[in-house]
Amino acid sequence: MKIRDVVIGANASMYYKLNFRKIKGVYYPRSEEEVVAAIQFAQSKGLTVTPKGGGSGLSGACTGGDDERLMISSLQMKEVLTVSKDQRYIDVQPGITPDKINEFLESMGMRFYIAPSSRDIATVGGILSTDGGGNDTWYNGTMRDSTLRVKMVLYDGRKLTLDANGVRCDDPELEAQLNKIGLSIDDVASSHGTLGFITELRLSIGPQVKESLIGGLAEFEECNALGRALNDMIERKSPVRYGEAITSAHDDVREDLNPPLLIVDFPADYESEMKNIMDYKHLDKQGLARMKDIRLKLPKRNPKVGIQVALFEGYGFHGDSLFHLQDRLDLINGLLIDHGMTPFAKYGHAPSKWYLGDNTATYGLILHSREIKPENQTGPEMLDTVLALVDLCEANGITPKPEHKWPYSDKIKKKRLEEIRGIIGKGFNPFLLSEECNNVLGSMV
């Protein structure tokens, strides 16, 4: 085994026990031509292909499952290709990170406004593949909202370009087929590397905004009150620039936190309306920075006894589930306890935005979760808990894993991906859409 095989297998999800003997090649291309060559090699050997970015995803897609496969990393494809300040776009390779894009744009007074918490390591190709965002997604949208054009290479080496005008391809017949079914950037978003390898993105950029902002901290008696406040913000289209909720924290890491609470940053001229939504105390720059730091470090803290896991990273509360947030959380925590888990912390973007499998934009609270797992619990047992949580979410109006879209549980998205793959080929990450996907993931926990 080579160290590069270990590195290429690393990811942030709980699905990390890889069989490196199944990884038959690791490529770090620097250009589209080298991507094509790598894919041609995989095809000649009958291997599936798994695209890999920074490894910060939480769905397990970047592991490639348990197939004999070729891994293609975008980490050497990190160049800025073109930038237009007047037309407000930047063309980049897929392996660049949001932080690096913004370092490049700083001197121009421009900015790329998609900022997941992993923006220092997450690649833009990977962020589009999961349709990720950050705590400002409510205001700036998810990755698809800032992606103007995508170039991809398919399993058979053909090349696609997708933008608002449709699909262009070096094969006119394939181009006609894909335009007939309306293939778009929405399909690439949250496809988890199942369609092809992204080689270039055109991203929307805008001027750096300098405005007077007010930081605030609101504490609530219980989570239903928090949910009502968030719903009010959504209905009023409140211009919140940063919003993070903490609904619970274990005694081992609670310190002086008093959840449920909401940390917000909003324009000063919106203060009077914000006061109509909720009671909050002002935070100066240092106080806001401290609360942001506490929130970022919360999932990195460990319990005094036991091991913390990101068992089920995202719950999307919207509509009725926001009004009954406390009741829904009680159901979730009850299921976790029944399965031997100890709830550790729940926190997330609020208000926020995500898309359902039919590409409907949805607004609410994306709540991440951490648990303390019992000793000696097996991978399949942990995955059984995850699948039970999916069922619980779907029965109670909660979107399971909204930031990662889980195509293997989102029936609408899965059907659409299968339709597209029936036309372009199925050589990329086939395990994700197979009937054995859950068993494969269970063996990798």
Domains of the chain: 3-74+419-444 (3.30.43), 80-207 (3.30.465.10), 216-400 (3.40.462)
The values of phi and psi at residue 277, to 5°, are -90, -40
**Sign of the torsion angle spanned by Cα atoms 433, 436, 441, 442:** positive
Give the per-residue pLDDT at 16: 77
- Residue 169 CA to residue 173 CA, distance in Å, equals 9
User: Which residues of the chain are under the pLDDT cut of 70?
Assistant: 1-7, 9, 403-405
The answer to whether 139 touches 240, Cβ cutoff 8 Å, is: yes
Give the β-pairing of 206-207 and 110-111.
antiparallel
- Residue 367 CA to residue 348 CA, distance in Å, equals 4
Would you give the DSSP letter of residue 426? S
Give the DSSP H or E segment for 37.
helix 32-44
How confident is the model over 24-53, as pLDDT tens digits?
Answer: 999 999 999 999 999 999 999 999 999 999
Q: How many whole angstroms from its chain centre is CA 333?
A: 23
Beta strands in 211-260 (DSSP E): 213-219, 242-249
Give the per-residue pLDDT at 314: 85
Give the per-residue pLDDT at 367: 94
Of 345, 210, 226, 349, the closest CA to residue 280 belongs to: 226
Of 233, 244, 242, 241, the closest CA to residue 274 belongs to: 233
Give the per-residue pLDDT at 2: 64
User: With a threshold of 0.85, does the pTM exceed it?
Assistant: yes
How confident is the model over 71-96, as pLDDT tens digits?
Answer: 999 999 999 999 999 999 999 999 99
- Residue 8 CA to residue 25 CA, distance in Å, equals 10
DSSP three-state, residue 263: strand
- Residue 80 CA to residue 184 CA, distance in Å, equals 23
Give the per-residue pLDDT at 14: 80
